[in-house]
């Protein structure tokens, strides 16, 4: 006959094993998901994406990365999400520096550029301005555009950086066939991210 102490010991050991397994799983899956996802990314200058986002054929690690990072990914045939964490020189985007995102309008039915802080959240600001899109941006006379990322107000297309420590920028391209594969994206002319002064 099994006594209560034995049952209690078995339950304690099972609970410890379950918690240890969850911790080990989280600690190992997260770095693996980050590595697998980043190693299969396609880059053009500071911009990067993964054509597996939103794909039913994505491997489990890419799916885990998408789930953890809250990306509402759809198939790349519908929309393509590119992110930038660095400027054109490969330096991390710092919240205390000014940047200009500039170039020709992306070849897309609709596009937008949105600024986030180090935690992946929109940056609170008095202007209630978080992004510019193909429908509300002010274009230059030659058809190009400039978006200013800065903690101090700028004329034109200004996205306030607030108190963010680091920045990341998303370029979302909707209804576009111009970037339908990795080769097309690598050959495309995408906006530059140019660093200005720092405080």
CATH code where residue 170 lies: 2.60.120.600
**Could you give the percent of the chain with pLDDT greater than 70?**
77
Mean pLDDT of the region 77-86: 84
10-14, 89-93, 163-167, 184-188: which range is least confident on average? 10-14
Distance separating alpha carbons of residues 138 and 173, to the nearest angstrom: 18
Domain-located, residue 107: yes
Is residue 122 situated within a structural domain?
yes
The pTM assigned to this predicted structure is 0.76
Q: How many domains are contained in the chain? A: 1
The three-state DSSP-derived secondary structure of the chain is: CCCHHHHHHHHHHHHHHHHHHHHHHHHHHHHHHHHHHHHCCEEECCEEECCCCCCCCCCHHHHHHHHHHCCCCCCCCCEEEEEECECCCCCECECCEEEEEEEECCCCCEEEEEEEECCCCECCCCCCCCEEECCCCCECCCCEEEEEEECCCCCCEEEECCCCCEEEEEEEEECCCCCCCHHHHHHCCCCEEEEEEEC
Higher model confidence: residue 56 or residue 34? Answer: 56
Judge whether 41 lies within some domain. Answer: no
Q: Could you tell me if residue 191 is inside a domain?
A: yes
Most confident of 69-83, 147-161, 171-185: 147-161
What pLDDT was estimated at residue 79? 78
Domain holding 169, by residue range, is 75-198
Residue 156 located in a structural domain = yes
Tell me which of 87-91, 166-170, 184-188 is least confident: 184-188
Does the residue 94 lie in any domain? yes
Asked if residue 60 has pLDDT above 90, the reply is no
In a domain? residue 2: no
pLDDT, tens digit, for every residue of 14-53? 888 888 777 776 666 555 545 444 555 788 999 988 766 6
Domain-embedded: residue 1 = no
pLDDT score at 9: 81
Which range is least confidently modeled, 29-33, 38-42, 61-65, 128-132? 29-33
């Amino acid at each position: 006959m099994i006594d209560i102490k034995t049952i209690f010991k078995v339950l304690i050991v099972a609970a410890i094993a379950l918690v240890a397994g969850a911790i080990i799983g989280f600690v190992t899956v997260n770095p693996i998901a980050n590595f697998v996802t980043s190693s299969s990314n396609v880059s053009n200058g500071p911009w990067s994406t993964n054509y597996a986002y939103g794909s039913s054929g994505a491997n489990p690690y890419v799916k885990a990365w998408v789930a953890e990072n809250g990306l509402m990914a759809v198939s790349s045939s519908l929309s393509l999400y590119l992110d930038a964490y660095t400027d054109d020189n490969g330096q991390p985007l710092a919240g205390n520096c000014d940047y200009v995102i500039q170039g020709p309008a992306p070849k897309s039915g609709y596009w937008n550029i949105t600024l986030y802080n180090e935690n992946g959240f929109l940056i609170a600001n008095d202007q209630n301005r978080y992004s510019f899109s193909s429908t509300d941006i002010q274009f230059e006379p030659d058809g190009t555009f400039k978006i200013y990322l800065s903690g101090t107000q700028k004329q034109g297309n200004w996205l306030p950086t607030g108190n963010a420590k680091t920045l990341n920028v998303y370029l979302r391209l909707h209804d576009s066939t111009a970037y339908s594969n990795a080769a097309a994206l690598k050959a495309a002319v995408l906006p530059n991210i140019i660093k200005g002064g720092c405080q």
